[in-house]
Chains A and B, each alone.
Chain A
Amino acid sequence: MRAEPTNRISEKGLRVWYIYGILQSLIVLLVGIGVGTINYFTGEYVWLYIVTGAVVLIAGYLLTYLFPKVRWMRWRYEVREQEIELQHGLFIVKRTLVPMVRVQHVDTEQGPILRKYNLSSITISTAATSHTIPALITEEADELRGRISVLARVAEDDV
């Protein structure tokens, strides 16, 4: 068995994902209310209320708690001298290797919610693919961006 990459993303990232989850489940809730309203004015099937309620509750639980949690537990990364290794995924676990030689540029990015928590995401682009580490402390992300770009420049190759 290959060892998992060593680093986790910031714990504050988990909190941000909870917030995203709450926003998503609010949308589900709105849809649920819509279905309920239509039901109230047209059919009034009792079972439809129950099903809708159950779906909203389960979706809420999954979106606001379980999915972010599992996703966060799974997310790992490691930046080594010659390559970057990432592991992530909810149902499907993906482990990606990106050699330093292939790295073309590195970006950091910060949305409004991430900014509030002093977090940044970092995106590593090769000629054909791009890979994002979602939530790192901003200073850490900046430092990492600098390190990757130095390592990528050192690892000169023939393409």
Chain B
Amino acid sequence: MSKEKYKLHPISALINFIKVLKDMIVPLVFVVAVNGFGSGGDSEGWSSYITYIIYGVILLFLLVSGIIKWKRFRYWFEEEELRIEYGLFVKKKRYIPFERIQSLNYTEGILHRPFGLVKVKVETAGGGQTKEADAELTAITKDAAEQIKKEMLQAKNKLPVDSDETIQVEEIVERQTKPVFHISQKELFILASTSGGIGVFFSGLAVFISQFSEIIPYETIYDEFQVFIKFGVLLIALAVFLVLLVAWIVSVVITFINYYDFTIRVEDNEIIITRGLLEKKKITIPLSRIQGIRIAENPLRQLTGYATVIVDSAGGSLSEKDEKIRLLPLIKKKEINKILLQIFPEFQLDPNYINVPKRSRKFFYRLDFVWMIPVACVVIYFFYPYGLLSLLLFPISFGIGVWQHKTMGYYIDQQHLIVQYRIISKTTVWLEKRRIQSMTERTTYFQKRVGVSSIITTIKSGIGGAVTTVSHLDKEDAEILLSWYEPARTKNTQIEKEQLPNFETINLN
């Protein structure tokens, strides 16, 4: 094993600089704005330059610190560890055992591309101090990145460092399996155009409605006032619409750039996601880290038969608090099964759900009424005639409650729990029993009176937990769920589970 120390590519000095600048952009703009406008006109001579000098010094300092950071950065491989030495003023060393490395994520930014470089993010298993355990190599050549992976694989498999073996490892690294999923142009376009949200639609509606103000008998009111109001409403609606339109176009472009060429591969029990037009991102998720799968269908996409598939992954970096990774950003619901079965052989979608009883329907909207009644009272009191419109909240909330009640359902087989629920979007959660960290039955006083309770499950997601609730199901069913989860009663089935075919055998073809 070589003990040669490697440096990053010089371009990382520039990247460091830009990164710090990007982090500081908000306070910097703020300071510039305050200073610029505050002392702009009447200050004389050198004193107006002093601010510019300060900015110059700051920029220079950042640039130099970027260069020093790059100069000081070293990494090397020793005793099956990735060792890093870095630090601007204080020299720090970080040793990461290869065994502990969960995944290596690659990103190719605009600055990386011309030189054939990548940014490598080393992720370790999540502990309390995850941020400390992670490492980032700002820019190294692709060969160097391969070498890290090679060293890691060697250390993990405890391979001797024979030349033959090295070649074999290289083959593993080089092998590219057929993609499990690749986003089509059409899907990419739909994803981009529906991601901007519903705001544009409503503001368009506002412009439309303002046109109809002709019909409203303004004539009876003051003539001049009328013109002003009509003009004002139209102008504001138009302005809002334009702003939202621009926001929408920006979000379409951003989504398009981010999700361009979105591809999923499965290699060596890892899911590999690559995406991006300008900045190519490569994310690897070990299959063993995936804790649950959720399928979200917002009403708009539900109508058109599209859905989003999100996976919860354990561990990961602190920056992403709960690691919800969009595995399939947009997919026809019919095709989900086909794709996911290749990755998760046990996956199942839309079984025969057990619904929650009719008597629990009131729990889905009643609690909303509690806060809505005083709000409606206040609104009606202060804005008498128009305030009455707030009463519309009740049927709307009732309708949504009934809808939620209708959607709520769950299904269990020996090892899996599938829950379907709705807030506004419909979500289906697929959980493995062995991934559920704890299960709680929750009964309020009112639920108890009608023999209903809720079941709350928690799985690990990122460094925290993600909660899935089966709301207001029959008390007896809730207890069935509890005993389903109770390990003592399911000992036999666990042994059965181990006899199931391993994932690798399925993946080979």
Residues of A within 8 A of B (CB): 1-2, 80-83, 89, 91-102, 126-129, 131, 155, 157-159
Contact = CB atoms under 8 A, between A and B. Distances in A.
A48 B137 CA distance: 67
Given A96-B439, A97-B439, A98-B438, A128 B487 contact: no
Interface residues of B toward A: which range? 20 to 34
Contacts, number: 83
Contact of B438 (A1, A2, A92, A129): A129
Interface string B462-503: 001110000000000001001101111001001000100000
Given A2-B482, A92-B445, A94-B443, 6 more contacts: A82-B486, A92-B442, A97-B438, A101-B434, A127-B465, A131-B438
B442 A81 contact: no
Nearest to A131: B438
B487 A127 contact: no
B288 to A, nearest CB: 8
Contacts of B119: none
B440 A94 contact: yes
B485 A128 contact: no
A157 B434 contact: yes
Nearest to A2: B479
Contacts of B437: 98, 102, 126-129
B444 A91 contact: yes
Contacts of A80: 488
A155 B441 CA distance: 23
Nearest to B482: A97
Contacts of A89: 442
A109 B500 CA distance: 43
Contacts of B355: none
Nearest to B445: A91
B192 interface: no
Contacts of B314: 127
B390 interface: no
B251 interface: no
Contact of A2 (B459, B460, B466, B483): B483
Given A93-B442, A127-B437, A129-B458, A83 B482 contact: no
Contact of A94 (B435, B441, B479, B491): B441
A59 B486 CA distance: 40
A70 B498 CA distance: 45
A83 B437 CA distance: 11
Contacts of B230: none
A93 B483 CA distance: 18
16 contacts: A83-B488, A92-B442, A92-B445, A93-B443, A93-B448, A94-B440, A94-B443, A96-B440, A97-B440, A128-B464, A128-B465, A128-B466, A155-B487, A157-B434, A159-B434, A159-B435
B268 to A, nearest CB: 18
Contacts of A100: 487
Contacts of B486: 82-83, 97, 99
A158 B499 CA distance: 13
Nearest to B432: A159
A99 B435 CA distance: 11
B104 to A, nearest CB: 22
A141 to B, nearest CB: 20
